[in-house]
Amino acid sequence: MNMKKYVAEFIGTLVLTLFGCGSAAISGGIDGKLGILGIAMAFGLSIVAMAYAIGDVSGCHINPAVSLGVFLTGGMDAKDFVGYLVAQFLGGIAGAGLLYAFISCSTLGAVADVGLGQNGFGSASYVGLSMGGAILVEVILTFVFVLTILGVTAKAKTGTIAGIVIGLTLAFVHILGIPLTGTSVNPARSLGPALLLGGQALSQVWVFIVAPLVGAALAAVVYKAVLKTEE
């Protein structure tokens, strides 16, 4: 039974990485055809689609930061937490791999030049954001995202709209975050492209693994201490 959850998380994270990062890379990034809003909506709509496709199976975390928040608030056990993380990271790598293949089969140019929707700071940031700034941005954006998820999924009366709310919230944080870091808020979505690109993307990816997890942990603490109510 648990294997179905892990497969669902693998598929969901693959789709999020392929369509979200793919929209950024193939459209030409911030200055391309989709622009910030279009890329943000690609990530958000990926969540909406997957929430209604796999939500009943796994809860559609498709993000290690989300799983950490759920784990810390008592929503899953340690075994499932580890299983979810493995499935999500593998899904992110597979999604980036498919995107790599798409670009390689096109006339867009070398994958190294087109990119894979990777995150970055310094010279890899559209606005030249510092490493410290990138950490702060990712902690705050992930905090908002995970706190929203914990709140909207806590009550049955909001369960039917949770997928839409979560998808729109992901788009919302991307609108601010894309020019700053490319917006991670998801270590699995960040690791896949970085592994395949190597170089600067891989050397910086630790920020986009650690900072979202810190943001998620803070969200869990605040939710439990301040916002959680008894049913």
| Domain edges within the chain | 2-227
Q: Tell me, what's the pLDDT at 188?
A: 98
Q: What is the pTM of this model?
A: 0.94
**What letter would DSSP give residue 21?**
I
| Strands annotated E in the chain | none
One DSSP character per residue, 132-144 reads HHHHHHHHHHHHH
Using a 10 angstrom Cβ sphere, with 0-12 exposed, 13-18 middle and 19 or more buried, the burial of residue 175 is: middle
Q: Tell me, what's the pLDDT at 197?
A: 97
Q: Which two tokens stand for residue 183?
A: 């917006």
CATH of domain 2-227: 1.20.1080.10
Q: Please state, in angstroms and rounded to a whole number, the distance separating the CA atoms of residues 212 and 194.
A: 16
Q: Tell me, what's the pLDDT at 159?
A: 75
Gyration radius of the chain's alpha carbons: 16
Q: Tell me, what's the pLDDT at 25?
A: 95
Q: Please state, in angstroms and rounded to a whole number, the distance separating the CA atoms of residues 184 and 205.
A: 10
Q: Please state, in angstroms and rounded to a whole number, the distance separating the CA atoms of residues 5 and 142.
A: 23
Q: Please state, in angstroms and rounded to a whole number, the distance separating the CA atoms of residues 66 and 82.
A: 13
Tell me the per-residue pLDDT of 105-162, one tens digit each, with 9 for 90 and over.
Answer: 999 999 999 999 999 999 999 999 999 999 999 999 999 999 999 999 888 777 789 8
Q: Return the SS3 of 76.
A: coil
Element (H, E) at 125: none
- Residue position matching structure tokens 């693959």: 14
pLDDT means over runs of 10, the chain (231 residues): 92 98 94 94 96 93 97 95 97 98 95 96 97 98 97 82 94 97 98 97 98 98 85 52
Distance of CA 7 to the CA centre of its chain: 17
